[in-house]
Amino acid sequence: MATAQLPAPPVRWARAPFYFNSAAHLLRIEREKATTLGELLAALRAVPSESIFQHTFRTLQEHHFIREGFSNDYAHWAFAACNEVGLAERLASVDVREFTSVESLRERIVQIVQDYLNRNPRAADRVAMEPFYFCASDAVVVPTPFVARNLAEFRDCMNQVSIHSIHYHFIEARLRLKLNSNDFSVWLESELDMGRIADQFNRIDIYTSTLQDVRRTMVRVIERALHSQA
């Protein structure tokens, strides 16, 4: 029995393709170190913003394979070296994706530590089991050969790019864009008019997923969209 074949829906082509980049980072050792929470607070106010970036955004990338544990170095140190679990939990609750500048992120972290020390003044001078060494990150943008012009190509690229490329576009991007969004969502919305997918991307929880999980979730979302298009 012959069946009438429906014509395939037209592929939506982006006006501007998506060029996948990545970033390579080099760690610099800063002069500041803290042996107490009081010293941590003072250094948090003084260190360059690249240092705040390193201990929050970057540490998330360096430990992209872990779902559990504390999500930034300050929280980890407060827990593991200072045994200040309450402070650690509050620091760990800071979601870097809520910040579009490192300076506002710094203010938030300073505020948390300051509030905690106001309530627990004796904690300020208690010596930690090991010092906190402030580092900073020098980043260099690295282009990749991956370019997407439509949703199917975008999915193929997502399957192949490195985890670092996903971190660069999905997590670090908000510092460049100064938006509570990411490069992928911005492109999908502006170039392919796919605001729904863009929103779904923005709702992915990066703290309970590894970056590989993030990749898989994104690919799944795209595949569902491609399937429904077909």
Partner 1 sequence: MEPRKDRVEERAAEQTGSEVGTQTPVEAPPRNGGTEAPEAPFRERRKRPRISETPPAPPPPPRLDDYEPIIGKPELDELRFLARPLRGKTVKMVNSTSLGGGVAEMLNRLIPLLSELEVVTRWDVITGGNDFFEVTKAFHNALHGGEYVLTKEARDIFMMYNEQNRQRMQFSEDLFVIHDPQPVGLVRSRERNRGKWMWRCHIDLSNPHPDVWGFLRPMVEEYDATVFSSPAFSRQLMAPQYLFFPCIDPLSEKNKELDPAYIQKVCDDFGIDRSRPIVTQISRFDRLKDPVGVIQAYKLAKKYVDCQLVLAGGGATDDPEGAIVLQEVMEAAGEDPDVIILNLPPWSALEINALQRASTVVVQKSLKEGFGLTVTEALWKGKPTIAGAVGGIPTQVIHKLTGVLVHSVEGCAYQIRYLLTHPEFAEQMGKNGREHVKENFLMTTNVKRWLLLFQILLGMVRKEKTT
Q: Nearer Cβ to partner 1, position 54 or 185?
A: 54
**Is there a contact between 148 and 196 (Cβ–Cβ < 8 Å)?**
no
**Is there a contact between 64 and 210 (Cβ–Cβ < 8 Å)?**
yes
- Smallest gap from Cβ 101 to partner 1, in A, equals 7
Annotate each residue in 80-119 with x if it binds partner 1 (CB under 8 A) or - if it does not, as one string: x--------------------xxx----------------
Q: Nearer Cβ to partner 1, position 116 or 168?
A: 168
| Alpha-carbon distances, residue 147 vs 71, 127, 158, 160, 171 (angstroms) | 31, 51, 10, 11, 19
**What is the secondary structure of 16-56 as a DSSP string?**
SPEEEEEEEEEEEEEEEEESSHHHHHHHHHHS-HHHHHIII
Residues in the chain: 230
Who contacts 228 (Cβ-Cβ below 8 Å, separation ≥6)?
Answer: none
Beta bridge partners of 210: none
Q: Nearer Cβ to partner 1, position 80 or 186?
A: 80
Residues 8-37 that bind partner 1 (CB under 8 A): 22-29, 31, 33
- Smallest gap from Cβ 130 to partner 1, in A, equals 7
Residues 53-82 that bind partner 1 (CB under 8 A): 53, 57, 62-66, 68-69, 76, 80
- Smallest gap from Cβ 36 to partner 1, in A, equals 17
The residue from 37, 60, 123, 135 that contacts partner 1 (CB under 8 A) is 135
Sign of CA dihedral 29, 115, 94, 182: negative
Catalog residues that contact partner 1 under the rule CB under 8 A.
22-29, 31, 33, 49-50, 52-53, 57, 62-66, 68-69, 76, 80, 101-103, 130-131, 133, 135, 137-145, 160-162, 164-165, 172, 175-176
